[in-house]
Structure 1
């Protein structure tokens, strides 16, 4: 049975000096297999390593990692996991190679973070581990993806960054494609009983879950 363990909580923060951008980082476990979904930025590197250590884990214990999208606040710590297979959508790789100047979340140096990592292009329906599959959630960026756990739980990253976005069914911020982004929010709302957003706490039935304990799921 896969379990989702929040390693770092996401926060939606703003200031008159910019956005601190603390994203959610989740660990998905099934038997001896461990998948990390997103990484956070280098300002949280020590906190991420501590969260793993609290579970008696180190970066080499993570065999697979999933890049939801290439924005700096989700990608920067990917280099900690050099032994892992890195799942990323091909459209996101293309965007990282030549990001538009209007995308301040994907600076030109972002692509260098993935240098020398074991990249695996992925897309809709690919199984990462048993009971955990990739779902495409484009719009926020061209190749944004999430994870579907046991058919009713979605790790959504910035396709659904907050509870307010899920309730409104409208994407926030400045997505690459507004129509696609709104459709991705709608897809998550219809598909998931539990949502792990990119910059908020876990949500069940459009309300925050009561605690942050791991959720267990049965796989058919």
Structure 2
């Protein structure tokens, strides 16, 4: 049976002058052989994650395997929901969680405590989690960043975590941010580009890579609505609309809604 892939929580690439909300994508892979959750988001999205699962008739106990793309806080905080599941990280990432360097502001020293009491196991390149779902090593963003290659009806779909956080990163062919190892991070972006028919990035909507190399979203990115007081201001001017690459123009995926 070909696995099916569902995006439970959409990813968004955001930043503010007060910090990063860090909404990562959360994906569910299902087949008769089991259910695999790829990343689980941070504590600010706990209710949203449970609601997204409930809408599919699922609860945390129904998940067999949780794969954490890496140890950054925005990708692993909700792992404690899944106490019956095995939780997989790369061995290099587990070592990094033991003693994250000061430069790694995305992995606070308490991050490993989130995994206390869980069935944490290491995984690596080529591990088959269920038929049609294999682990990919995509290092650079962090020492042990991993993704999943999923055989779907659309071809090979690669779940990347922050190895490819946005479509713009793959289009540029270079990693973004402050990776541990820039050369390895760039090589991971190149690997995804050469392998994937569809990419599910860490902080963007899934997109397709055509035979000619063009990028187009599989579905229109879901808008993100901001609710708050009048002190909140949304400014999209520094970043072009994400569908500006070889596709018809659309409004930016974020919108601002002010409430009293």
Which of 165, 173, 177 is the equivalent residue of 1:173?
Answer: 177
- Partners of 1:65 and 1:24 in 2: CA distance: 14
User: What are the within-5 Å matches in structure 2 for residues 1-220 of structure 1?
Assistant: 1-31=2-32, 33-150=34-151, 152-205=156-209, 206-210=215-219
TM-score by length of 2: 0.80
- Partners of 2:33 and 2:62 in 1: CA distance: 10
**Structure that is richer in helix per residue:** 1
Deviation at 1:197, TM superposition (A): 0.1
SS in 2 for 1:152: strand
Deviation at 1:211, TM superposition (A): 5.7
- Partners of 1:149 and 1:31 in 2: CA distance: 15
- Partners of 1:135 and 1:63 in 2: CA distance: 19
TM superposition outliers: structure 1 runs of 4+ over 2 Å: none
Deviation at 1:98, TM superposition (A): 0.2
Q: Quote the RMSD (CA, aligned, Å).
A: 1.0
SS in 2 for 1:141: coil
User: Which residue does 1:217 correspond to in 2?
Assistant: none
Structure number with larger C-alpha Rg: 2
Deviation at 1:210, TM superposition (A): 2.6
SS in 1 for 2:110: helix
Question: RCO higher in 1 or 2 (8 Å CA, sep ≥ 6)?
Answer: 1
Deviation at 1:135, TM superposition (A): 0.3
The C-alpha deviation readout for 1:171-205, integer Å capped at 9, x for no partner, is 00000000000000000000000000000000111
- Partners of 1:176 and 1:126 in 2: CA distance: 24
Q: 2:33 touches 2:131 (CA, 8 Å); kept in 1?
A: no
- The farther-off stretch of 203-212 and 171-180 is 203-212
In structure 1, the gaps of 5 or more residues are: 213-220
- Partners of 1:41 and 1:92 in 2: CA distance: 18
